[in-house]
Amino acid sequence: MIKKVVIAAAGRGTRMLHLTKNKSKHLINVLGAPFITYLLDNLLEAGYKELILVVGYRKEKIEEFLKKYKYNVKVIDQFEVLGKQEYGTACALKCVKDVVGNENFLTVYGDNLYSVEDLKSLNLEDQYNYIAGFFHKKPEKYGALKLKDGFLEEIIEKPKKHITNLINTGLYKFTPSIFDKINKIKLSQRGEYELTDAINLLASEKKVKVKEIQSFWLDFGNPADILRVSSFLKKCKH
Residues ≥6 apart with Cβ < 8 Å to 184: 198, 201
Residues ≥6 apart with Cβ < 8 Å to 98: none
**Beta-sheet strands, E only, within 175-207:** none
- How far is residue 144's CA from residue 155's CA, in Å, rounded to a whole number? 6
| Residue from 131, 111, 129 nearest 171 by CA | 131
CATH superfamily label, 4-128+170-237: Spore Coat Polysaccharide Biosynthesis Protein SpsA; Chain A (3.90.550.10)
Model pLDDT, residue 102: 95
- How far is residue 4's CA from residue 212's CA, in Å, rounded to a whole number? 21
Taking each continuous run of H as one helix and of E as one strand, the counts in the chain are: 9, 13
Model pLDDT, residue 218: 96
Q: How does pLDDT run along the chain (238 residues), one tens digit per residue?
A: 999 999 999 999 999 999 999 999 999 999 999 999 999 999 999 999 999 999 999 999 999 999 999 999 999 999 999 999 999 999 999 999 999 999 999 999 999 999 999 999 999 999 999 999 999 999 999 999 999 988 999 999 999 999 999 999 999 999 999 999 999 999 999 899 999 999 999 999 999 999 999 999 999 999 999 999 999 999 986 4
Q: What is the pLDDT of residues 161-215, one digit of tens each?
A: 999 999 999 999 999 999 999 999 999 998 999 999 999 999 999 999 999 999 9
- How far is residue 118's CA from residue 54's CA, in Å, rounded to a whole number? 22
Query: Domain-by-domain residue ranges, the chain?
Result: 4-128+170-237
What is the percent of the chain with per-residue pLDDT over 70, rounded to a whole number? 99
Residues in the chain: 238
